Amino acid sequence: MVVRDIIEILKGEIICEGDLNQEIKTACGSDMMSDVLAFVKDQSVLLTGLVNPQVVRTAEMMDMACIVFVRGKDPDESIVSLAQSRDITLIKTRYRMFTACGLLYSNGLSGGTEV
């Protein structure tokens, strides 16, 4: 799966375009950035309902290529410009967290961990 596929599956809208052909192996969904930093390993997409610049910074530290904002949330300009400078793709989807994660999972994307 690549970033472009995620956009299609989630009927998403691109807010900030990075490398859309970047391969995505695993994903995680969380509104708690501390948990993302604690439990995630080698995951390349973050689904979140949290909208602030620290979401982008968390993705940056974790080498994530793509952030999906669920429930149709709109990041502001400061978030978009931060993502641009870090070459991170931002996507917005109207799906809620559970549904968005489920759609990606049923299309073959896993969490990358056993439990």
Distance (Å, whole) CA 12 – CA 14: 7
Choose which of 17, 20, 31, 73 interacts with other proteins (CB under 8 A): 31
Is residue 32 at the binding interface for other proteins, with CB under 8 A as the rule? yes
Is residue 14 at the binding interface for other proteins, with CB under 8 A as the rule? no
Ramachandran angles phi, psi of 69, nearest 5°: -90, 120
Helix (H) or strand (E) holding 47: strand 45-48
Q: What is the dihedral of CA 51, 54, 56, 58, to 10 degrees?
A: -130
Is residue 37 at the binding interface for other proteins, with CB under 8 A as the rule? yes
The residue (of 9 and 79) whose beta carbon lies closer to other proteins is 79
List the interface residues with other proteins, window 81-100 (CB under 8 A).
86
Q: Which residues bind other proteins (CB under 8 A)?
A: 31-35, 37-38, 48, 50, 52-55, 57-58, 60-63, 78, 86
